[in-house]
Amino acid sequence: MHLRFVGCGDALGSGGRFNTCFHVSGARVNFLIDCGASSLLALKRLGIACDAIDTILITHFHGDHFAGLPFLLLDAQFTRRIRPLTIAGPAGLEQRLHQAMEALYEHSSQTQQKFVLNLVTLQPEQPRQLGDLRVTPFPVVHGASGGPFLAYRIEAEGRTIAYSADTEWTETLVPAAREADLFICEAYYYDRIVKNHLSLTTLEQHLPRIRPKRLILTHMSDDMLARAGSLAYETASDGMTVEL
């Protein structure tokens, strides 16, 4: 099983990076974690077959994590996809997806698709089996709009992937990522403390309790990108592949 960073950027395009979208594929799984506005372009640039994706996990409803769905669904319609697709995310997913599709392509939400589209609401701290994925959401803190906000602990093919999503420090990140094979964590700033986002120095204080087997930093601002070469931690880049 491997994970590819289709996009690992922030909402502002820092470093010219694509919006957040991670692709995970293995013997029995093929899924996305988040689908930001630029995701369809980035998937096609990397030669990733969208029709083979079974599941998309959405962490929250900000455009750089969610707004790629209307483009992906429109592409599925024109490529005559027949494979079922599951999109899972926080409460409000169905309404938010309808609104996004209508805002970008009027009447597109009413199109009769040739494939079964399953929309699944995930509840915090309630594990859910989605095919060969076991997904446990954890609530995180990322402001007053665009939520609910979820981090994910994903178990598949004997491996555990944890993703912080966008969040300031919150204690739920400890059980979400404890001893995960791979913990993908936002580090928007190096040492600047702001609401709704996480700094690397804050994360470092809690790593002894989390003990991930591998940590990769993502969703970095220009401040962090300028330091990336000198950090003691791995940092994501668009197109980067991680073997699990």
Q: Does residue 95 or residue 229 have the better pLDDT? A: 95
Calpha distance 244→157 (Å, rounded): 10
**pLDDT score at 3:** 98
Taking the mean position of all CA atoms in its chain, how far away is CA 174?
Answer: 18
| Residue in the block written with tokens 């996990």 | 57
CATH number assigned to the domain with residue range 2-226, chosen from the 4 options 3.40.50.300, 1.10.8.60, 3.60.15.10, 3.30.70.141: 3.60.15.10
Longest dimension (CA), the chain: 51
Mean pLDDT of 98-102: 96
**pLDDT score at 109:** 87
In which band, very low, low, confident or very high, does the pLDDT at 151 lie, cut at 50, 70 and 90? very high
**pLDDT score at 41:** 98
pLDDT > 90? residue 111: no
Instruction: Give the domain ranges of the chain.
Output: 2-226
Strand spans (E) along 18-148: 21-25, 30-33, 55-57, 85-89, 117-121, 128-130, 133-139
Average pLDDT, the chain: 97
**What percentage of residues in the chain have a pLDDT greater than 90?**
95
| Residue in the block written with tokens 């409460």 | 91
**pLDDT score at 16:** 96
In which band, very low, low, confident or very high, does the pLDDT at 148 lie, cut at 50, 70 and 90? very high
Calpha distance 198→190 (Å, rounded): 9
Taking the mean position of all CA atoms in its chain, how far away is CA 165?
Answer: 7
CB 127 within 8 A of CB 135: yes
pLDDT digits (tens, 9 = 90+) for 64-75: 999 999 999 999
pLDDT digits (tens, 9 = 90+) for 18-62: 999 999 999 999 999 999 999 999 999 999 999 999 999 999 999
**pLDDT score at 178:** 98
CB 100 within 8 A of CB 93: no
CB 93 within 8 A of CB 87: yes
Question: What is the reported pTM?
Answer: 0.97
pLDDT digits (tens, 9 = 90+) for 71-88: 999 999 999 999 999 999
